[in-house]
A and B are shown apart, each in its own frame.
Chain A
C-alpha cells in the first residue's frame, strides 16, 4: 500500500506541473485530457486503497519522510489511510474527475482553459493532502492550499473587479478561521506535545471530560471549520464565491473543500467526545446557520446564489449532526450532498451556458423542452436534496433528523423547519427556471441548446449517484444494514457511538418520516400552484418591501460587517498610518538614514588622496596606541 499511496496526491500535482508549465504550448484538448486523466488515476488508486481498508478493517500510517525535527517537535510527511480518508479520497477524486470532464466542455471557449485545469489539479492535490495527512500540520498544509486554489479560481476571471473582491473576501474570511485552527494546533502541541494524530488521540483519551483545555482546543478547531465550511458568522464568503466558473462552484464550493471542516471534526471526533460543551456549540451554530441561510435562500434570484445558500444551509445541518455526536450520519450526508449538490451546480452551469451567461432565474423559464437532460437531472437532484424517498437525500437527511430527535425533540423541530425551507426554495428554483414561459430575450431563445456530451454525461452519472446513493446506508427499518454507519464506526472513538442507535422505536421513526414527508408534499402543492398553475414570477428587486426586502438583501449581513468591523479597522489603520507612521516612525527612520549618510560624507573627506596625510595618521595612530597603553590604562 505504501508503494502506491503517495501516487494518489502526486498524480494531480504532476498534472498541475505539466499543465502549468505548458499552459501556452499545450492544445486545449491535451491539457483537458491530462488534467482529467491525472484525477482518474488517483481515483483508481483510491479504489484500491478503499478495498485494502475494507479487507484489513483498520487504518494505517505511512511515513515517507521526516520533514522537521526541532526539539520535541517532529513532523513527518506521512499519510494516514483509514475508513475516513479512503472515503473522502473517493468523493474528491470521483466527483473531481466528473467535474474535470464537465470542464472540458464548459471551459472550451475560455482563453484561460489550460490554466484552469492546472488550478483544478492543484486543488485536487491539496485536498488529498488535507484528507490523507497523518498529522495536523499536513492537514493545515492542505487546508491552506485549497484556500489558495479557491482564491485563484474564484478570481479566475480576474479582469472583473467584483470577482477579485469576492476572491479576496473568501481569502480573508478563511484566514480568520485559519487563525483559530492554528491556535488550536498550538494548544494541542503545548498540552499533548505532538501534532501526530495517533499520539494526540491516545493522549486525549486520558483527559477529564469537559476540561477547559480540551474544550478550548475543540472550539478553536471549530473556528477553523467555521471559516472553511462557511458557518455563522464566517459564511459570507461562500455565496460571493459563486463568481468563479461553475465547475469550481460545484467541485470546491459545494462538494469537497467546504466539507473540510466536517472532515476535520470527524477526524478529531475523540476531542469533541471529550468536550461535550464544545459539541453543543457546534450543534447550535450548525442549526442556526442552517435556518438562517435557508431563509436567505428563499428570496435569491441568481440561480447559483440559491444553490450557494442551500450549500451553507446543508453544511449547517451536517454540523448540527456532528454536534449531537452523529459523526457517521454527517459523513453520509457529506457524501450524498456531494452527489446532488455537484449535480445541481453542474446543471445550473449547463443552464447558464445555454442562456449565454444569464444567471437571473426571472429571465429564464420554460427551459424544460430545450434542455431535456439538464432539466431531468436537475429535477432528480432537487428531489434528492428535498429528501423525497427513495432518493439519496432522503436517507441521509432522515438519519440526521432522527439523531436530532434522539438528542432533543426541539432540535428536531428546528431541523425540520430548515429542511422544509430547503424544499420551498428548491422547488421555487426548479419551477421558475424550467417551467412556465420563456422570459429571456429573442437572441437567447434562439441560442438555447442542450450542452455537449462532455457536460451531460457527468450530469447523468451524478444523477444516478444522487438517486441511488442512499443504498450506501439503508437503515434497518427498511431492511438495510446501515453499511456506511458501520464503516465509519470502525474509525470513530467507540463511546461516541453508543446510545443513539436504538433510542427511538421503529414506529416513532416512521412517524417522524411521515411528518416530514407530509410537510414536503404540502409545500410542493402550494408552490406548484403558485409558480406553475398561476405562472407567478419572483418580484423585481425594486418591488421588494419590508421583510422580503430584508431577506432579499441577505439580512444586510455584509453591510453590518462592513460598518462594524471593516470600516473601524480601516479607520484604525489610516490613523496608524497618518499619525504613527508618517509623524513618528518615518521621521526616526529617515533621521537614522540621513545621519549615517552624513557620517559617510565626513569619513570620505578623510580620504584626501594626500599620502603625506595618510602616513601622518598612521604614525599618529601608533603614537596614540602607545600613549593609551602606557599612560591611560
Chain B
C-alpha cells in the first residue's frame, strides 16, 4: 500500500515539475521513486496484508506489482534516451504514465470488484490521453479517439458484468463471491451473463480476438514509448487482473466459461500470428505479435490452477524482457530514420550498429521461443502445464502458431543482416539506451539460464 501512495505522490510531483521548473531532475527522481516502490513491495513479501477488504497484498500481488514496476523502470530509462534533447521534456506525460502504472498495481492487488473497476479506469484514462499525446500527428489523434471509444464500450460491459454479479451474489467482495459460487445454490442465469460480460471486458483489455481490433491501430498510431507501455505494462496488468479474478472467484464454474476462453485463445493465436505475416511496419508487426502472445497466455488461463499463476508470471516476464528490447531498438532505428518503421528501415543495421542488431536478434529469437532464451522456457512451461492437464490439441495449435511466428520474427533479423540500399548516418551511442538494453537483455538471458529464479516464486 505504501508503494501505491508513493507512486501517486510521484505522479503529482512529476505533474508539477513543469510548473516549478525542475524538469531535468524529474526522470532521475521517477527512477529512484520506482526503485523505492519495488523495495517497499519486496519488504512486504509473505505478509499478506489486507486493506479494508479493498486490496490484498498477497505474494501474487507483490510479484506482479514488482514486475510492472521493473518494466516501468526500464521504460523510463528508455524515456531518458528518447526525450534526451532540450524541449523534449514532457513532464505531464510522465505523470500520466505513473498514474496508469498506479492503476496497474491496483489491478494486481484488488480484493473487491470496485477496486478492479477503479484500477482498470485509472489505468485506461491516462492511456487515452497518452495515445494522443503527439498532438500534431493525425495518426496519434485517431489512435486516441479509437481507443477511447472502444475502451468506453468495454468499460460499459465491465460495469454491467459487475452489476449482474453483484445482483446475484449481493457482494462486491471477492471472498464473498467465491463463497457464493462455492455454495452453488440457485445461481441465476444472469450471474452467468455477468461472467460472460466480465470475460468480454477483460479480453478487450488484453487485446484478445475477437475484441482485438483496437490494438493494431492504437499501437501503431501512438508514440512509440506509449506503445511500449501498452504492450508490456498494460497487458501484464490486465492478465494479472484476469487471472486473479477468475482464479479466486469462478474456478468452480470453469466448465461453463472454459469453452469461451479456449475459442478466444485459438482465434487470438491465429489472427495475431497470421495477420502479422502480412505487415510492412515493424511497429504494427509487434502489435500483432503482442496479440498472439496474449493468445498463449489465454491458454494458461484455460488451464488455470496454482501452476498457471507461476507460468503466467514467468511468461509475462520473459515476454516483457524481449518486447522492451525490441521496442528500444525500434525507437533508436526510427529516430535515426526520420520516423520510418517498415522492415526495410532495419536493413544495414548489423553493419551500422552490430550491438543493436545483436540485441534485436536476441529479442526476436526469444519472442519466437528459441532456446536457451527466456521466451523458450516461457512457452515450455506453458505447454508442459497444458499437456499435463490434458490440453494436448490446444498445445499443438499453439506450436503450429509458433512456427508461423518464426517467419515474421526472422524477417526482422534477415533485414538487419542484409545491406542497406542507401547510406545511413551512424548511431550515437547513449548511456541510457545501453543501460536499458543491457538490463533487459540480462534479464532475458538470466531467465533463460536460470528459469527457477521466477518459476518457484509463486509456488
Contacts and interface: CB of A to CB of B under 8 A. Distances in A.
Given A609-B217, A611-B146, A615-B153, A621 B275 contact: no
Given A609-B217, A618-B150, A601 B278 contact: yes
B271 A603 contact: yes
Interface string A562-600: 000000000000000000000000000000000011011
A461 B157 CA distance: 93
A622 B271 contact: no
B200 A625 contact: yes
A611 B149 contact: yes
Give the interface SS of chain B, mostly helix, strand, loop or mixed: helix
B339 to A, nearest CB: 20
A615 B156 CA distance: 13
B210 interface: yes
B211 interface: yes
Interface in A595-629: 596-597, 599-601, 603-604, 606-607, 609, 611, 613-615, 617-618, 621-622, 625-626, 629
B200 A614 contact: no
B214 interface: yes
Contacts of A621: 200, 210-211
Contacts of B256: 629
A272 B152 CA distance: 82
B193 A626 contact: yes
Interface of A, secondary structure class, is: helix
Contacts of A625: 196, 200, 260
Contacts of B274: 596, 599-600, 603
A124 B190 CA distance: 79
The CB with the most chain A CB atoms within 10 A, among B192, B200, B274, is that of B274
Given A614-B150, A615-B153, A621-B210, A597 B260 contact: no
A622 B196 contact: yes
A630 B190 CA distance: 11
A618 B277 contact: no
Most chain A CB within a 10 A radius of its CB, from B150, B210, B259: B210
B16 interface: no
B149 A629 contact: no
A614 B217 CA distance: 11
A618 B217 contact: no
B277 A597 contact: yes
B196 A615 contact: no
Interface string A130-158: 00000000000000000000000000000
B213 interface: yes
B197 interface: yes
A622 B277 contact: no
Interface residues of A, number: 23
A607 B217 contact: yes
A624 to B, nearest CB: 9
Interface string B275-302: 1111000000000000000000000000
B278 A604 contact: yes
Nearest to B408: A600
Contacts of B404: 596
A618 B196 contact: no
Nearest to A633: B259
A618 B209 CA distance: 9
Nearest to A619: B153
A57 to B, nearest CB: 46
B381 to A, nearest CB: 20
B216 interface: yes
Contacts of A614: 146, 150, 213-214
A618 B274 CA distance: 20
Contacts of A597: 277-278
B405 to A, nearest CB: 11
Nearest to A611: B146
Interface string B202-225: 001000001101101100000000
Contacts of A604: 275, 278
Contacts of B192: 629
Contacts of A601: 278
Contacts of B157: 622
Contact of B149 (A607, A615, A633): A615
Interface in B252-266: 256, 259-260
A617 B189 CA distance: 24
Contacts of B204: 618
Contact of B153 (A618, A629, A633): A618
Interface in B309-331: none
Interface in A163-220: none
A589 to B, nearest CB: 12
Contacts of B193: 626
B211 A607 contact: no
B275 A600 contact: yes
A540 B76 CA distance: 83
B200 A622 contact: yes
Contacts of B149: 611, 615
Given A614-B150, A617-B213, A618-B211, A600 B277 contact: yes
Contacts of A633: 259
Given A596-B404, A600-B277, A618 B271 contact: no
A622 B197 contact: yes
B377 to A, nearest CB: 19
Contacts of B259: 633
Contact of A607 (B196, B197, B216): B216
A615 B150 contact: yes
Contacts of A615: 149-150, 153
Contacts of A630: 189
Contacts of A618: 150, 153, 200, 204, 210-211, 213
Nearest to B157: A622
A347 B88 CA distance: 78
A611 B214 CA distance: 8
A427 B213 CA distance: 89
A609 B284 CA distance: 13
A430 B260 CA distance: 89
Contacts of B146: 611, 614
A626 B213 contact: no
Interface string B133-163: 0000000000001100110010001000000
Contacts of B277: 596-597, 600
Interface string B403-424: 0100000000000000000000
A212 B166 CA distance: 77
Contacts of A629: 192, 196, 256, 260
A617 B210 contact: yes
Contacts of A611: 145-146, 149-150
Nearest to A602: B274
Interface in B60-97: none
B207 to A, nearest CB: 12
Interface in A248-301: none
A611 to B, nearest CB: 5
Nearest to B217: A609
B407 to A, nearest CB: 8
A505 to B, nearest CB: 68
A614 B145 CA distance: 13
A609 B204 CA distance: 17
Nearest to B216: A607
A617 B211 CA distance: 8
A616 to B, nearest CB: 10
Interface centre among B149, B197, B277 (most CB of A within 10 A): B277
A626 B196 contact: yes
B35 to A, nearest CB: 39
A631 to B, nearest CB: 13
11 contacts: A596-B404, A599-B274, A600-B276, A603-B271, A603-B274, A607-B217, A611-B150, A613-B213, A614-B214, A615-B153, A618-B213
Given A625-B260, A629-B260, 9 more contacts: A597-B278, A601-B278, A607-B217, A614-B146, A621-B200, A629-B192, A629-B256, A630-B189, A633-B259
What are the 9 closest A-B residue pairs judged by CB atoms, nearest first? A600-B278, A614-B213, A600-B277, A603-B275, A621-B210, A600-B274, A604-B278, A599-B274, A611-B146
